[in-house]
Amino acid sequence: MNKELEHSFVEQLQKHQNIIHKVCRLYTNNADAHNDLFQEITIQLWRAYPKFRGDSKFSTWMYRVGLNTAITLYRKSKRRVNTQEFDSVEFKIKAEEYDDTEEQQLKLLYKAVHQLNDIEKALVFLYLEDKDYREISTTLGITEVNARVKMNRVKKKLKTILNP
């Protein structure tokens, strides 16, 4: 039974692993931290798996556990804090030589998103994943109205970071 459970879990996780990668993409700044968080999310998913009854899609369930791990459970290592500081310094230099090419703009956008706080990142993540406000609100545990309000504030904040 246990082997069966393991097998079905790994099979589904393997198929949907990009969801975890994308969470890591937003919440970490380097490969080590990325792998570290990936592993912690995998552990938490596996632990919660016996309770997964299939009344929601496996992928939907992954979003929730993945974000919960990134926002609440995961403990940052010292190394990561240092890289974050490094990134923001680099960002300031780059912002001065801002040019309009799309690639450059994207680079700056990703850096700007990395400057948001954990909750704001979660909103951006779910937005980028095309989740509607209902799902955003139930994932975070806030009302739909508040999710909208917060999302608008995040957009404004991103604008200010990009055009100080």
Partner 1 sequence: MDELELLKKDWKNTETKFESYSDSEIYPMMHKKSSSIVKTLFYISIGELVFWILASILPYLLSSTFREKLDKSYENPLFLGLSIFSYAVILLFIYLLFKSYKSISTTDSAKRLMESILRTRKVIKYYVLFNLSMIFLSIPLSFYFEYQENPEFHKVITEATTTQMLFVYGIIILVGAVFLIIIWLFYRLIYGILLKRLNRNYDELKKLEV
Q: How far is the CB of 159 from partner 1 (least distance, A)?
A: 7
| H or E element that contains 29 | none
Q: Cα(77)–Cα(82) distance, rounded to whole angstroms?
A: 9
- Backbone CA torsion sign across 90, 107, 149, 157: positive
Q: Cα(129)–Cα(55) distance, rounded to whole angstroms?
A: 21
Tell which residue, 111, 11, 122, 116, has the closest CA to residue 66. Answer: 122
Q: Cα(131)–Cα(142) distance, rounded to whole angstroms?
A: 15
Q: How far is the CB of 90 from partner 1 (least distance, A)?
A: 19
The reply on whether position 116 binds partner 1 by CB under 8 A is no
- Among 46-54, 80-88, 93-101, the segment contacting partner 1 (CB under 8 A): 46-54
For the window 51-80, what string marks contact with partner 1 as x by the rule CB under 8 A?
xx--------x--xx-xxx-xxxxxx----
Where along the sequence are the contacts to partner 1 (CB under 8 A)?
A: 6, 9-11, 13-14, 17-18, 21-22, 25, 38-40, 42-48, 51-52, 61, 64-65, 67-69, 71-76, 102, 105-106, 109-110, 112-113, 117-119, 122, 124, 127-130, 138-143, 146, 149-150, 155, 158-159, 162
